[in-house]
A and B are shown apart, each in its own frame.
Chain A
Amino acid sequence: MTLQRLWTRGAIYLVLIAFAAYYMIPFYVMIITGLKPYEDVNVTRMWELPRGIYLEGIIEAWQRVSPNFINSVIITVPAALISSLIGSINGYIFAKWRFRGADTLFILFLVGMFLPYQGILIPLVLTLQKVGLYGSMGGLIMVHCIFGIPITALLFRSYYAGIPNELLDAARIDGCGFFGIFRWILLPLSLPAFAVVLLWQFTTIWNDFLIGLIVLSSPRLAPINVAVQNIAGSFSVEWNVQMSAALIAAAPTIIVYLALGKLFMRGLLAGSLKG
């Protein structure tokens, strides 16, 4: 019995380790290729470790994509902050001020979370051109904030739903109104929710490719993922530079994920309406 149990446990760990290895392989390949010098990046030696640490790939990649990396920071940070603020106030209203039709309206919001953007891209471009925001970072930030309305409202709504109404009642009796309750009761309790939403929006907007590609036509303004794609698309760029560029693009979200994995997980579950 115990021997059989030992076997089963061993097999479970073995399978898990195999899976873990599988999910790490592309990262392993990106890192070893990124650290190889140009002449060592060839098809036969692909799986071999670099002979040392060569930073020429990383340096060349950084020279190519650093302006775009900065663009992505300029786009992502304000967009994540603004959309989290919008989300918190919307979530507050959907959770605590349930006017007639609020739930139906909320579901209509959620639809926007799931639909493919291809169904709205053409009017989006036409509208942005008309109001003069096409091709500008401000326009892209605005678009990210608008497309973030559903998910941020959802995340904050489920968080605020857990805050007891008695607390709000007490604040009302003390003379707080709509904004007072939000400012003095909910906002001070919102830190965990803000962390989850900020993290989620940061990752989503940083990793975006399609909207950045459509709204910012100039390569000079392009966010990092568009730049990486441009590098990967040109055959003159060596693999070690491509991999380095991909690593640079992935670094911020990877760091954030490793530092705040628990929050990431919570956003993941809530984002599917579960959790």
Chain B
Amino acid sequence: MAERAVAQGEVGLAASIKGRKRKSWWRSDMVLAILVLSPSIIAVAVFIYSFIAWTFYISTVKWNSQVPDYTFVGLTNWVRLLGDNRFHIDLRNLVYYAIGFMSQCIIFGFIIAALLDQKIKGEALFRTIIIFPFAVSGIVTGVAWRWLMQPTTGINILFAKIGLESFQPLWNSHPKYGMWAVSIAAAWQMTGYVMALYLAGLRGIPHELREAAAIDGAGALATYRYIIIPLLMPVTFTAIVLTGMNSIRVFDLVSAMSGSGPAFATDTLAFNMFQSTFGAYRYSLGAAIGSFMIILSAFLVIPYLFSMRGEVER
């Protein structure tokens, strides 16, 4: 009896209910399920998909003042955006930020996870401390790091104390490389997240594999190089997508640390979009920036969700 139930369970709910009467019951309940889900479907369709389409549409009209103007102008806003100096700086900053932020998160996250996987005493405490920053907001992070990165105080005082009086970086106030400093604060916040992903991945690697490698005479480094790191590729892929997505939309941290900074050194697409739209009322230009951000993210989201399809369709 139990065995039969298990077999039926695998086929699913519908197949296990026999008889015409029950089947029609099943059908009406299925309709009910779709009905209950439909407000959420509508909400997602309206607030996500139709809004994206709407944003793209606004980017093709002439609405660049406080008065809505839906005169179609084609790609005029896009052409203007692509030739805009501030936009070029934003793209440069995106590259700086993405490289700095993603590499810190992934390298430190992996190293800490690998170390914590060595049967460490107090592992839970270390884990708690390292994920801790992820519990606070981007604004709080920004306020703290702004104080730490003041050129005349903060970290620079520590540098001076250890004899580095001549090494006093401007951090996020640097007119060209300010974005690297922002990436340090951002990575401080998110490395724990990446570490947690790697730790879960490491715990999923069967012990036999490591033992087999040890028997074959592989040292610790070789085991990591040839067995563990390749096995963790899916985790690395996830980490790249999540940190990449964060790089595209960084806003809170920049707002709290320095705004767009000197010569737009810490300006980002998100901050530019916000200022253009809600500060300068250039709605169509803002919509073009927002649309551009959606397109950039799609390059990360679509392959990611595609790769997760198997996992989702359990």
Contacts and interface: CB of A to CB of B under 8 A. Distances in A.
Interface of A: 12-13, 15-16, 19-20, 22-27, 29-30, 33, 43-44, 46-47, 86, 89-90, 93-94, 96-99, 103, 105-112, 114-124, 127, 143, 146-147, 149-150, 153, 161, 164-166, 168-169, 172, 177-179, 203, 206-210, 214, 225, 228-229, 232, 239, 242-243, 245-246, 249-250, 253-254, 256-258, 261, 264-265, 268-269, 272-275
Interface string B30-46: 10111011001101100
A13 B118 CA distance: 10
Contacts of A121: 273-274, 277, 290
A230 to B, nearest CB: 10
Contacts of A97: 13, 29-30, 33-34
A115 B197 contact: no
Given A27-B144, A153-B40, 6 more contacts: A23-B191, A108-B44, A115-B48, A149-B40, A206-B137, A257-B131
Contact of B41 (A24, A105, A124, A172): A105
B196 interface: yes
B55 A209 contact: no
* Most chain B beta carbons < 10 A, residue from A90, A210, A242, A246: A246
Given A166-B5, A250-B136, A122 B287 contact: yes
6 contacts: A19-B126, A23-B191, A29-B147, A97-B13, A114-B300, A153-B40
Contacts of A254: 132, 135-136
Interface in B123-155: 126-148, 150, 152-154
Contact of A249 (B55, B137, B191, B286): B137
B291 interface: yes
B40 A86 contact: yes
Q: Which 4 A-B pairs have the closest CB atoms?
A: A207-B137, A43-B153, A116-B249, A119-B294
A33 B148 CA distance: 11
B97 interface: no
B13 A172 contact: yes
Contact of B52 (A12, A90, A120, A274): A120
Contacts of A153: 40
Contacts of B191: 23
Interface stretch (B71-79, B164-172, B250-258): B250-258
Nearest to A180: B29
B12 interface: yes
B177 interface: no
A114 B304 CA distance: 10
A209 B139 contact: yes
B102 interface: no
Interface residues of B, number: 110
Contact of B270 (A47, A96, A116, A242): A116
Interface of B: 5-6, 8-10, 12-13, 16-17, 22, 25, 29-30, 32-34, 36-37, 40-41, 43-44, 47-52, 54-55, 58, 108, 111-112, 115-116, 118, 120, 126-148, 150, 152-154, 157-158, 188, 191-193, 196-197, 200-201, 235, 238, 242, 245, 248-249, 251-252, 255-256, 269-270, 273-274, 277-278, 283, 286-287, 289-291, 293-294, 297, 300-301, 304-305, 308-309, 311-314
B143 A232 contact: yes
B50 to A, nearest CB: 7
Contact of A178 (B32, B148, B309): B32
B300 to A, nearest CB: 8
A122 B54 CA distance: 9
A90 B37 contact: yes
A268 B126 contact: no
Contacts of A268: 131, 134, 193, 196-197
A261 B128 contact: yes
A165 B4 CA distance: 13
B130 A19 contact: yes
B99 to A, nearest CB: 19
A120 to B, nearest CB: 4
B150 A209 contact: no
B37 A119 contact: no
Nearest to A46: B153
Given A98-B12, A249-B137, A47 B158 contact: yes
Contacts of B129: 20, 23-24
* Most chain A beta carbons < 10 A, residue from B138, B154, B193, B312: B312
A23 B188 contact: yes
A242 B33 contact: no
A118 B305 contact: no
A109 B48 CA distance: 9
Contacts of A103: 312-313
Nearest to A98: B12
A149 B40 CA distance: 7
Contacts of A253: 135-137
B278 A214 contact: yes
A169 B290 CA distance: 48
A157 to B, nearest CB: 9
Given A178-B36, A246-B143, A114 B116 contact: no
